[in-house]
Structure 1
Amino acid sequence: MTKNEKQTILTEIDDKLFHITLNRPDKLNALSPQLLAELKEALDEAAEDTDIAVIVLKSAGPVFSPGYDISEENWIISQFPADYPEGVNLHQDRLDIHELLDYWLALWKYPKPIVARVQGPCLSGAGELIAMSDIVIAGKSARFGHPAARDLGIPPTVFLWPLLIGMRKTKELLYTAKLIDADEAVTLGLVNEAVADNELDDRVLEVACDIALSPVDHLTLLKESANGWYENMGFEASARRAADLDAVFHQSPTFKEFFKTVKEKGMKVALEIRQKRFSTSGK
């Protein structure tokens, strides 16, 4: 068993399994540029290791991840909106969002199966992370949704919701920004299984070890053949359009208003005002 520690993730090799743990529990494992860069570096290394068959993706603490880090120092793309009172530059924003989409598409094409272990809230940008995973096992404490849909943006991949859970439920979750629990996520096909939190580690390990019995090359071919169906249905083209629409969304009055408040009164106050404004959404 080999362990390694970066600043925002932990990695461990155990036989044919490569465990990656998001390790920003003080920030609830919010996705920062550094975390995504370190995750990519770890995955690239594992892709080259012919002894590794399966990636196990998890996070430290009681929260899987609330999504992208929205602090100025860890804003995921180049323009922090609070610094642009008239609105971010649309062209640059579009380029940035497509670059972020490229990150997720590379993960979609990753050659080895990724098994995600989810506990607690898995929201907004974190939904893109599990959407690019192959198998998702959730603890009963897990909650899924996109609270940011109210006023902060569109996930470029739309979490694969239109493909995974269908048109009606996708629209309901986007329009209302409500959260669903682990059992409903299973019913909808968003995750594979929901188990008691105290059984989550054992079940994830059991599933990952079962997958790892297959030869690595075979798993790569199986993944590519399954993904090909969705690619032929226009998955990437649809995601590119969503990325464009996200850039347009960022020009909206509510988006600008939120970050104007951030600039004038700070993030905490902006979030409190936002919570009151959308308090009926179930967030």
Structure 2
Amino acid sequence: MSPSNLLTAQHDKVLTITFNREDKMNALSASFLRDLKDALDAVKHDDSVSVVVLKAHGKAFTTGYDLDGSDWVLSQNPIALHGKLNLDRDREDIKGLLEYWWTMWKFPKPIIAQVQGLCLSGGGELIAMCDLVVAAETAKFGHPAGRDLGIPPTVFLWPLLIGMKKTREFLYTSRLFSATEAERLGLVNRVVALSELDKTVDELAADVARTPVNNLAILKQATSRFYENMGLFASGDQAAELDAVFHQSDSFVNFFAKVAEDGVQAALAQRRKQFG
């Protein structure tokens, strides 16, 4: 595991994993996701750890999947290909990414996300796999890429967690929403002042860790099954198929052609001009 991606520390029965890509707004690269999986796998069967906390250095929890192209999360780099992806290969890649998230969903111990700033796009998938989310008042959530780049294959679990109407609103408009709205909708458990965030999460994690680790695994599995029995995994597979189709759109191709020619910031500026 690269210390440039993650830092880990254990106190009593709580393992804290800190995202350490502040210069990249903690964007989710391929190596970052591998390191996170390795860190979770290392304590999956370790009874000295009952709870995992995910937090981040810097102003952003994570801005989502890394767009700079040097550590791309899928096997086809859309920058190098000017956005023109092989559909079949892309479909398999996205299904592989979906399996990554389902592995995290099935992690047997509670995971608490501590969100201090932006939590966008792939970051929404990350916190959807967490059991509890505590956010600072400064946190912002949303999927800016919904208009032009695709849908994360888990769709953030939004249709199940917040209902169809709000899910469609957020996807159709790509608007960001506040921690207060996220709490009201049930995406966040608690919202606190930024100055109280560390203390609140520490106390919550310590409280959860008082429950025997084996009992926590049963409680987590029992609640997860409600979503699984409603077709969670099948819905994810279908969303992965649709995401691959989305990647064939003109908007996707044009965005990455712009990145290839003028860089990420120029492409983002063009998107802001078009969509606001």
How high is the TM-score relative to the length of structure 2? 0.98
Distance 1:86 1:133, change over 3 A: closer
Deviation string 1:117-171 (CA, Å, 9 cap, x unpaired) is 0011100000000000000000000000000001011010000101111111000
Where structure 1 has 5 or more consecutive residues not aligned to the other structure, the ranges are: none
Q: What SS is found at the alignment partner of 2:210?
A: coil
Deviation string 1:144-202 (CA, Å, 9 cap, x unpaired) is 00000010110100001011111110000000000110111000001101000000000
Q: What SS is found at the alignment partner of 1:136?
A: strand
Deviation string 1:240-279 (CA, Å, 9 cap, x unpaired) is 1000000000000011011111122222211111111111
2:198 to 201, 206, 216: 201
In percent, how many aligned pairs have the same letter? 54
Deviation string 1:78-108 (CA, Å, 9 cap, x unpaired) is 1111332472000000000000000000000
Q: What SS is found at the alignment partner of 1:57?
A: strand
4+ long deviations beyond 6 Å? none
What is the aligned partner in structure 1 of residue 243 from structure 2?
Answer: 246
Where structure 2 has 5 or more consecutive residues not aligned to the other structure, the ranges are: none
Amino acid at match of 1:45: A
Deviation string 1:198-233 (CA, Å, 9 cap, x unpaired) is 000000011111100000000000000000010000
Q: What SS is found at the alignment partner of 1:205?
A: helix
What is the aligned partner in structure 2 of residue 90 from structure 1?
Answer: 87
Following superposition, the deviation at residue 67 of structure 1 comes to 0.3
Distance 1:275 1:13, change over 3 A: same
Matched, 1:133 2:130: yes
Following superposition, the deviation at residue 71 of structure 1 comes to 0.9
2:42 to 45, 53, 56: 45
Q: Is the 8 A contact 2:83 2:256 kept in 1?
A: no
Deviation string 1:37-73 (CA, Å, 9 cap, x unpaired) is 0110010011121111000111111210100001110
Matched, 1:175 2:163: no
What is the aligned partner in structure 2 of residue 148 from structure 1?
Answer: 145
Matched, 1:222 2:219: yes
Amino acid at match of 1:239: G
Q: What SS is found at the alignment partner of 2:48?
A: coil
Matched, 1:106 2:91: no
How high is the TM-score relative to the length of structure 1? 0.95
Distance 1:210 1:95, change over 3 A: same
Q: Is the 8 A contact 1:6 1:38 kept in 2?
A: no
What is the aligned partner in structure 2 of residue 31 from structure 1?
Answer: 28
Q: Is the 8 A contact 2:161 2:187 kept in 1?
A: yes
> Equivalents in 1 of 2:76, 2:118: separation in Å?
27
> Equivalents in 2 of 1:147, 1:196: separation in Å?
25
Number of residue pairs aligned between Structure 1 and Structure 2:
276
